[in-house]
């Protein structure tokens, strides 16, 4: 059952002032105090969707991004890199290793899919007969595409064709808009992939360490596979699992090492290459994960951080985290007279 959240009652004075087109006062705090005026307006018509597509799957309403299919490109690259890590590090892996990395990667792309099929926080266009709640108050920026004055911290996404509350950016890598209602999913996505990259790097480090530690001292510079690596490592010692040596890759590697111990081993070279790719992912996505955790804890968008603005600094970490993880209901569902709305 979907969670339900009661709409916050708007202050009567704020509604009256906004409807009359009067300013509350000249400060930014006064502008932000009109949140209830904006969040009580609804428009569930197709015109409010812009380029988004509404779809119902298993009774759940999805808002599909126009470029949602691009997610298959990073998903395919990630799957390939995951297979490379698994094949190379297979002799040292335990069930927990598999479970941890695969859970992080699968979870990451579940969150990525949520970014591309969730309402990012659309501030809908005016419906037939609707009146702009702030009238002609020129302190609010007028959107020439949506033809209305938008709330503070709202920007127009030209890819989705809508104004988005607390718009961060439109991610062309996974095909989704990151805003007030989808920032949580994007942050969880980069955190999961970043942690997965750490685990993958640890696999390669353990595998290369095991190779080097079991090489003959006179031949360690040749990067050959250890002849006595017979199974997964437990507690730093190899377990006797003869069937591991029957795998084609290890039979070929053993034959090469037996015939010419000075020949560089392709498995070792491959492990170094995969480790380098894992490290690139870790630096890129891991760094982004740290940044977005900070942005969530300060209730700040990337647009605002570039300008040196920290909007949630006075609210406290707990309030900022709650604001990001439990955003207001979608303005694309229900009507302005609804007392309760579903929280997607």
Average pLDDT, the chain: 78
* Tens-digit pLDDT profile for residues 175-215: 999 999 999 999 999 999 999 999 999 999 999 998 888 76
pLDDT of the residue at 338 = 46
**What mean pLDDT comes out for the span 276-297?**
95
Helix (H, G, I), strand (E, B) or coil at 229: coil
How big, in percent rounded to 5, are the helix, strand and coil portions of the chain?
50, 10, 40
pLDDT beyond 50 at 67:
yes
pLDDT of the residue at 268 = 86
Q: With beta carbons less than 8 A apart as the criterion, state whether 151 and 133 touch.
A: no
**Of 85-94, 200-209, 248-257, 302-311, which range is least confident?**
248-257
Q: With beta carbons less than 8 A apart as the criterion, state whether 82 and 97 touch.
A: no
Q: What is 261-298 written as a DSSP string?
A: TTSPPHHHHHHHHHHHHHHHHIIIIIHHHHHHHHHHHT
Taking the C-alpha atoms of residue 118 and residue 267, their distance in angstroms, rounded to an integer, is 43
* Tens-digit pLDDT profile for residues 309-333: 766 566 788 999 999 999 988 999 8
pLDDT beyond 50 at 6:
no
pLDDT of the residue at 35 = 61
Which three-class secondary structure string do you get for 144-181?
A: CCCCEECCCCEEEECCCCEEEECCCEEECCCCEEECCC
The CA–CA distances, whole Å, from 52 to 59, 111, 122, 144 equal 18, 18, 10, 19
pLDDT of the residue at 24 = 36
Q: What is 285-331 written as a DSSP string?
A: IIHHHHHHHHHHHTT--HHHHHTT--TTTTT-HHHHHHHHHSPPPPT
pLDDT of the residue at 22 = 38
Taking the C-alpha atoms of residue 125 and residue 146, their distance in angstroms, rounded to an integer, is 6
């Amino acid at each position: 059952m979907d969670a339900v959240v009661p709409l916050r009652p708007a202050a009567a004075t704020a509604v009256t002032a906004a409807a009359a087109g009067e300013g509350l006062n000249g400060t930014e705090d006064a502008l932000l105090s009109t949140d209830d005026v904006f969040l009580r307006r609804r428009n569930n018509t197709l015109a409010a969707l812009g380029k988004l597509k509404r779809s119902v799957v298993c009774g759940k309403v999805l808002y599909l991004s126009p470029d949602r299919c691009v997610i298959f490109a990073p998903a395919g690259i990630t799957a390939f890199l995951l297979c490379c890590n698994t094949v190379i590090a297979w002799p040292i892996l335990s069930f927990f290793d598999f479970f941890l990395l695969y859970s992080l990667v699968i979870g990451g792309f579940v969150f990525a899919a949520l970014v591309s099929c969730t309402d990012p926080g659309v501030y809908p266009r005016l419906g037939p007969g609707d009146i702009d709640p702030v009238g002609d108050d020129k302190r609010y920026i007028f959107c020439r595409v949506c033809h209305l004055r938008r709330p503070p911290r709202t920007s127009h996404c030209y890819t989705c064709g809508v104004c988005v509350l607390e718009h961060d950016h439109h991610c062309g890598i996974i095909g989704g808009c990151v805003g007030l209602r989808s920032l949580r999913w994007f942050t969880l996505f980069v955190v999961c992939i970043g942690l997965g990259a750490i685990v993958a790097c640890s696999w390669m480090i353990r595998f290369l360490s095991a190779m080097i530690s079991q090489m003959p001292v006179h031949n360690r510079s040749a990067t050959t596979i250890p002849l006595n690596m017979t199974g997964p490592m437990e507690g730093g010692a190899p377990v006797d699992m003869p069937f591991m040596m029957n795998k084609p890759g290890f039979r070929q590697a053993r034959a090469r090492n037996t015939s010419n111990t000075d020949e560089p081993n392709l498995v070792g070279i491959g492990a170094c290459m995969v480790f380098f790719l894992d490290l690139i992912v870790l630096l890129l996505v891991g760094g982004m994960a740290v940044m977005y955790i900070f942005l969530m804890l300060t209730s700040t968008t990337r647009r605002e951080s570039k300008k040196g603005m920290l909007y949630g600094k006075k609210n406290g970490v707990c309030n900022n985290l709650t604001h990001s993880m439990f955003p207001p209901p979608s303005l694309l569902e229900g009507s302005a007279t609804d007392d309760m709305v579903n929280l997607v």
